[in-house]
């Protein structure tokens, strides 16, 4: 397939079906070619800027993939939380430099991974704390706040000294209390103090 044909195919899949990541096998089937021949073609397309390799064996159009789309391709057990989720919910002012993900799997390969959409940091947490969101892969405001405080306290860092919180009173009290039960008492007290201080 020619570069323009690839762009048209990928763009159509994205616009009509919301599909933005493609495996090498899928692309080889579309091109009706072997994986080896496709790898040569993908290298050429990447050099021309028509396609991006987002992670091992996963390709897509430039600038259409978000961290939430890419994460399941890297670790299906992980979810985005901490400062990235807090910023996406407008609860902190600073834009994060890395995307924090909680997972229940230990990976000796990579605890941090650089990708075209940002640097992912994977943190394996206890089973009580690990709780993938019911919908999507980004933690809710209550969960993101609890996870952030939990993680910072584990690292011996003051959350208040690291970021500037805002809009914390807008977090639903019922959601917050339901999540807090999963964390150590020190984290529970710290989170409640942060929310109370924002009122």
Range of the domain at 32: 3-65
User: From CA 106, how far away is CA 165, in angstroms rounded?
Assistant: 31
Beta-strand relationship, 58-60 and 22-23: antiparallel
Quick: pLDDT tens for 22-47: 999 899 998 888 888 888 889 988 99
Number of domains making up the chain: 2
* Residue ending a domain, choose from 42, 65, 88: 65
CATH of the domain at 30: 1.10.10.10
State yes or no: pLDDT of 187 exceeds 90.
yes
- The structure's pTM equals 0.87
61 plus 24 within the same structural domain: yes
17 & 109 share domain:
no
Of the residues 65, 92, 116, the one at which a domain ends:
65
CB burial string 162-192: b at 16+ within 10 A, e below: ebebeebeebeeeebeebbebbeeebbebbe
41, 65, 89 - which closes a domain: 65
Q: Kindly tell me the burial class for residue 114, based on how many C-beta atoms sit within 10 Å of its own C-beta (0-12, 13-18, 19 or more).
A: exposed
Q: pLDDT category, 152, cuts 50, 70, 90?
A: very high
């Amino acid at each position: 397939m020619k570069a323009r044909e690839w762009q048209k195919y990928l763009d159509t899949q994205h616009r009509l079906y919301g599909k933005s990541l493609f495996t090498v096998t899928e692309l080889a089937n579309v091109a009706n070619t072997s994986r080896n021949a496709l790898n040569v073609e993908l290298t050429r397309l990447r050099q021309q800027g028509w396609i991006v390799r987002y992670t091992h064996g996963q390709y897509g159009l430039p600038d259409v993939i978000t961290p939430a789309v890419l994460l399941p391709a890297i670790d299906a057990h992980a979810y985005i939380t901490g400062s990235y989720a807090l910023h996406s919910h407008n609860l902190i002012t600073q834009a994060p430099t890395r995307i924090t993900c909680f997972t229940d799997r230990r990976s000796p390969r990579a605890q941090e991974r650089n990708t075209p959409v940002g640097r992912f940091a994977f943190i394996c947490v206890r089973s009580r704390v690990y709780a993938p969101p019911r919908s999507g892969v980004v933690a809710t405001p209550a969960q993101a706040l609890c996870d952030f405080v939990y993680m910072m306290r584990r690292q011996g860092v003051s959350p208040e000294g690291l970021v500037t919180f805002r809009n914390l009173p807008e977090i639903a009290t019922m959601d917050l209390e339901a999540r807090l039960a999963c964390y150590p008492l020190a984290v529970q007290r710290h989170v409640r103090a942060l929310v109370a201080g924002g009122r």
